[in-house]
A and B are shown apart, each in its own frame.
Chain A
Amino acid sequence: MRFALRRLGFFVLTLWAALTINFMLPRLMPGNPALAMLSKFHGELTPQTLKALDVLFGVNTHKSLPAQYVSYLHQVATGNFGISLDFYPKSVSSVIGSAIWWTVGLVGVSTVLAFTLGTGLGIVAAWRRGGRLDSILPPTFVITSAIPYFWVGMVFVLVFGISLHWLPYVGGYYVSTDAPSLSPTFFGDVLAHAVLPGLALVVTTIGTWILTMRNTMITTLAEDYVRMARAKGLPGRRIMVDYAARNAILPNLTGFAMSLGFVVSGAILIEYVFNYPGVGYMLLQAVQGEDYPLMQALFLLLTLAVLLAILLADIATALLDPRTRTAG
């Protein structure tokens, strides 16, 4: 209990620090949203528009920094992030709401898949080290994890999309023949569109999980208690899973929690290559468009998700490994 409270206290402190940085950073950037908007619509707006935009975004109605900070904290507490400048006049929550589920679905599922598969393969590879699996998998995935994921995405588009016509590679669903609904056809459509981007993410991230799992697993397998378990004549499977893997998985679990947190930031380049309607590309757009409200909400969401995931990982680690609960 004391452990959980201490963790929670740390969580709140980190959150406050993150919130404040989140507030300060965009305001240190040069330019203002009206200028950004004007450059974004390069070629479609007239000079007079600048005046109209200034009025629209209230750029010249200066509010002091402390006053902005107070209203910012109030917004955060109430979950009201105001109006997006880039997607004007939509509210930030509706803008994020329309994109976040695509990202959580795609990147979330790929992360869980990569972690589960990678950790499982890592366990088996370490258990049968020197075996066929162990001599093929780690080197292969050292290579794949070194390749940039957007490049893998582009190769997939080329091979499976353009050349072989096996799978769709544009967007989240067939935009002109299908419409978002709860029907099985739409679900299948979404799934088919998620295969290539999802696969590109899994292929490029799975290597890390395999390698770290395999290496910690090998160290653990050399421990005395594992030898003890063998001496007791326990079945190999039980030793592998309950004795070795349970302990070896701890570092991987923290890593997993972090990457789960980062899921909400999306995979900017994958979304770009596949024209996927997610939140990653939106974040990039918000930064370029100096869309403070959207940027702040997205960064906040990201911070919250990472902090929460770390908190949960800490608790999970504590459950799995009693040694971490107290200092000694």
Chain B
Amino acid sequence: MRRLRAIGVLVSAGLLAAACSSGSGSGSGSNSSAKSVVTISNENGALWTCGFNPFLGADQLLSVGFVYEPLVYVNPLQNGKTTPMLATAWTWGAGNKSITFTIRKGVKFGDGTPMSAADVVFSFGLIKKYAALDLTGVWSVLSSVSQTGSDQVTMTFTAPAVPYFYYIADQTPIVPAHVWSKIANPVAYADSHPVGTGPYVVNPCTTANITYTANPHYWQPGEPHITKVEYPAFTSNNTANDQLATGQAQWGSQYIPAIKEFYTSKNPAYHYWFPPTVNVSLVPNLTNPLLANVKVRQAMSYAIDRAKVSTIGESGYEPPANQAGIVTPTFSDWLDSSQASQYNYAYNPAKAKQILASAGFTMGSDGIMANSKGQKLAFSVIDIGDYSDWVASMQVVAQNLKAVGIQLTPDNLANTDFTAALYAGKYELAYYDQQSFGPGPYYELRNWLDSANTAPIGKTAASNYERYINPATDNLIHSYAATTSVSVQHSVVNQLQQVMLTQLPIIPVVEAVDWYQYDTSGLTGWPTPGNPYAQPSAYAFPDMEQVLLHLKAK
């Protein structure tokens, strides 16, 4: 989901040309890394702050998974398949309005102190007390967290909360009460020397590099096999890519232009996998009278050549999306193929024109369709100018729409200007993707469609930027939260697909991916398309812990 910034393209393009002409003489540096060491190459775009506070957004991806652990690992790529971590078992209570976790025995923190149910209760109490630390908003549904018995923690909810399991069990790190209770202001706490139950301790951190070494008290016998993880701070895409291409780093998590020439051709042991996660969509502002017309949105969906956007805009790395809003192949088994073929939104400009004509639009002499009142189908689309791939994609979409008589003027904004306009609803069309990803298509669809996530124009909307409000859809979303039955969940998601296909609140164009490159010359156990045991990017937390626990030196 990370994007390449324009400055990166400029410099990378130069270096790419360089790397190609210099041939493959740079040799393999992988022998320089000791056997059980992994070096991560992830263009962070900044130097490290050496803060590891697991409740701060900026530090989470460096601490949750490496140092701190969740109760349960939930794999978003395998429909929420669970792996018990600090909790060994859990049961939902009556009406799915409470859940009881059994906390693992014999787990110690990095300083040798035993971890107990009291630490779990403390951690949840901490993010209740300091709302700024509650990054996933678990206390918007929780009503209490308390210890029951010696090793059990019971949580109660204000409403049925099945989908919140992911946020509570997977996304909330457990911290030691004996350390954090002494911290006067946890919100301003850097946590430079984090103490957690995870497989690694920070030893040491500088602004240029973080070294993680194995936690001697780690609870999983024999783990971690990888005794040292090096995580250098890369401010630019080209240096980070070069470290991968020369084998100095084995685990990559960024965009590489022309990946075949630059990376995989250098060594047969180099591979990549970009699993799709969320849709990148054309987001209409539904308060605009022309865009509120579903036929206009249908015409747009037919007019966009998604395959071409994928090839030209995204170098083929990000696959075309579908109007049902189900990210494939990640969530293919959720896709209702009968509906998808019934409402077939495959590229069809003739059909788009026909729909516009049936809605009373006629082609003007300037090539733009207009209705009887003379209102033209001419819109501006806001886009993040820094994301060169999105800018290129919008050019393709604009050409596609021009062909059916809809004029699109891309407005490439600075990141903050874009976000401000999008959140406040001050735009006509926007090109964007959801910021969070969950173990199933429901999570993304809920973000887009739940009216609780929207706001009037001028106010900040959390994730329903298009301002879609439909009580029937809201009821569907709530009914999913009340059931643990997979078949009921599937029927709800099918109905949500119908909403997407008939009402087109948004128009998915391509699917954003996780960036991931890996080197198998010295290490085995990497996640692969055949064995997607975790989200593979080094910045995916707490997934990177699963990857590190699976890795072994050859």
Contact = CB atoms under 8 A, between A and B. Distances in A.
> Which of A43, A175, A277 has the largest count of B CB atoms less than 10 A from its CB?
A43
Contacts of B415: 36, 39-40, 288
Contact of B419 (A35, A49, A170): A35
By Cβ-Cβ distance, the 9 closest A-B pairs, closest first, are A48-B137, A43-B1, A31-B416, A175-B209, A47-B462, A46-B436, A47-B463, A158-B18, A56-B132
Contacts, number: 190
B124 interface: no
A90 B49 contact: yes
A123 B159 CA distance: 82
A172 B235 CA distance: 12
Contact of A172 (B15, B53, B208, B435): B208
B15 A89 contact: no
Contacts of B3: 42
Interface string A27-44: 001111001111111111
10 contacts: A36-B416, A47-B436, A49-B136, A51-B462, A86-B58, A89-B56, A89-B188, A162-B18, A271-B235, A285-B46
A20 interface: no
A46 B26 CA distance: 41
A8 B436 CA distance: 55
Contacts of A52: 57, 131-135, 137
A57 B243 CA distance: 36
A31 to B, nearest CB: 3
Interface in A145-194: 150-151, 154, 157-158, 162-163, 165, 169-173, 175-176, 179-180
Interface in B454-476: 460, 462-463
A39 B134 contact: no
Interface in A13-70: 29-32, 35-53, 55-56
A281 B236 CA distance: 10
A176 B209 contact: yes
Contacts of B190: 89-90
A117 interface: no
Contacts of A176: 39, 209, 211, 230, 232
B358 interface: no
Interface of A: 29-32, 35-53, 55-56, 83, 86-90, 95, 98-99, 150-151, 154, 157-158, 162-163, 165, 169-173, 175-176, 179-180, 271-275, 277, 281-282, 285, 288, 290
Nearest to A164: B22
B512 A45 contact: no
A199 B239 CA distance: 19
A41 B415 CA distance: 11
A41 B57 contact: yes
A288 B39 CA distance: 28
A94 to B, nearest CB: 9
A285 B417 CA distance: 16
Contacts of A162: 18-19, 22, 26, 242
Contact of A48 (B15, B135, B437, B539): B135
B286 to A, nearest CB: 18
Interface in B123-161: 131-137, 140
B269 interface: no
B316 interface: no
